[in-house]
């Protein structure tokens, strides 16, 4: 019998396994629900700032039969906050979000504070990974990074950022290099602490927003630079891109990650047809997970599996009110089918 970690490793290497894996990375892909917090009596927003609680909540996701991984953090604001953005920690049901930017233009990036992994919430995340590494085995630990474009548009007004990609190309590249260097620092620290997998979500860097040319020039370039700079000693990497892939399949295929993940607007069948040789992750509708029932979730799970998903996962972050029974149905279904 394979452990979840062994199974994920084989899948990431493109090898055959008994069945698909079932994970939800964390970060933007939130896997914490209100019911889960009640079960283990560990709550957000406290767990965003306390390594012990963060690790305990991450453990609960696996222990309660939701997904076969641990993952931290539970938001996508750590990097921006460490660089100086003001963040509202949210509540039991709302995710943390940036409420005050640091700079007004890509030209001002020297004003940003470089990420220091021995301080603030970057340290909380690294400590939580260390705790998970010490106290568990056989289950992959996923460390999450906010993608370069999403991080870059979290410390300044996104509309200005998007415009300057075109109008101030040279400065925008210098800014993206700085941002990517900060993500590399944070990612390497996560792996050093014991993260087996690094998942990068870049919801603000979609093909739909940027168009193919800028998607390649800014999203693909810097995600790859980040991926290439992470240590080789790890299980693998996942990149999640939101939105339609039709305009950018060719560019997406250039990403150096082991796994590609999409949201539910991308039919798994279409993704498989365009990305024949890639390991694909996805994409059970979070709408069905929140408002459907276990039967519906299982039906969608079987459909994803049939159409070529190697790693079953929710298509996006879970809604906080998603019933535990629905969330547990993805994994249950995979075990039944195997």
- For residue 20, with 0-12 CB atoms within 10 Å meaning exposed, 13-18 middle and 19 or more buried, which class applies? buried
Write down the least CB distance from residue 185 to another protein, Å.
25
Write down the least CB distance from residue 265 to another protein, Å.
8
Contacting residues toward another protein, per CB under 8 A: 30, 88, 90, 93-95, 97-99, 158-159, 162-163, 165-167, 203-204, 207-211, 214, 242-243, 246-247, 263, 286-287, 290-291, 316-321
Write down the least CB distance from residue 140 to another protein, Å.
24
CA distances in angstroms from 232 to 121, 223, 226, 228, 235, listed in the order given: 25, 16, 12, 9, 9
Write down the least CB distance from residue 116 to another protein, Å.
25
Which stretch of DSSP H or E encloses residue 158? helix 158-167
Q: Give whichever of 162 and 175 is closer to another protein, judged by the CB atom.
A: 162
User: What sign results for the dihedral spanned by CA atoms 276, 278, 281, 285?
Assistant: negative
Q: Give whichever of 172 and 200 is closer to another protein, judged by the CB atom.
A: 172
Which stretch of DSSP H or E encloses residue 129? helix 120-135
Write down the least CB distance from residue 156 to another protein, Å.
13
Would you give the DSSP letter of residue 286?
A: H
Q: Give whichever of 116 and 208 is closer to another protein, judged by the CB atom.
A: 208
Q: Give whichever of 33 and 237 is closer to another protein, judged by the CB atom.
A: 33
Q: Are 288 and 319 in contact (CB under 8 A)?
A: no
Residue 309: other Cβ atoms inside 10 A: 25
Q: Give whichever of 98 and 179 is closer to another protein, judged by the CB atom.
A: 98
């Amino acid at each position: 019998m394979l452990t979840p970690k062994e199974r994920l490793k084989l899948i990431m290497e493109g090898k055959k396994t008994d069945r698909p894996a079932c994970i939800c990375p964390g970060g933007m892909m939130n896997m914490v629900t209100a019911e889960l917090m009640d079960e283990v009596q560990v709550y957000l927003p406290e767990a965003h700032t306390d390594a012990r609680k963060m690790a305990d909540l991450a453990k609960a996701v696996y222990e309660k039969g939701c997904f076969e991984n641990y993952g931290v953090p539970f938001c996508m604001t750590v990097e921006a906050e460490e660089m100086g953005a003001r963040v509202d920690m949210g509540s039991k049901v709302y995710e943390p979000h940036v409420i005050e930017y640091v700079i007004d233009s890509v030209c001002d990036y020297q004003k940003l504070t470089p990420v220091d992994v021995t301080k603030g919430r970057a340290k909380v995340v690294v400590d939580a990974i260390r705790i998970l590494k010490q106290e568990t085995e056989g289950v992959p630990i996923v460390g999450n990074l906010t993608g370069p474009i999403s991080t870059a548009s979290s410390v300044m007004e996104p509309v200005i950022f998007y415009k300057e990609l075109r109008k101030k190309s040279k400065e925008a590249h210098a800014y993206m290099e700085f941002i990517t260097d900060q993500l590399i620092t944070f990612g390497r620290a996560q792996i050093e602490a014991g993260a087996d997998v690094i998942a990068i979500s870049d919801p603000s860097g979609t093909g739909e927003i940027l168009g193919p040319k800028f998607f390649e020039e800014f999203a693909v370039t810097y995600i790859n630079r980040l991926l290439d700079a992470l240590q080789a000693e790890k299980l693998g990497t996942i990149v999640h891109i939101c939105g339609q892939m039709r305009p950018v399949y060719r560019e997406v295929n250039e990403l150096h990650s082991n796994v590609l993940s999409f949201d539910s607007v991308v039919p798994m069948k279409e993704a498989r047809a365009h990305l024949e040789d890639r390991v694909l992750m996805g994409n059970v509708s979070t709408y069905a997970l929140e408002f459907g029932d276990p039967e519906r979730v299982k039906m969608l799970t079987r459909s994803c599996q049939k159409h070529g998903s190697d790693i079953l996962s929710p298509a996006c972050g879970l809604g906080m009110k998603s019933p535990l029974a629905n969330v547990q149905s993805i994994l249950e279904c995979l075990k039944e089918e195997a």
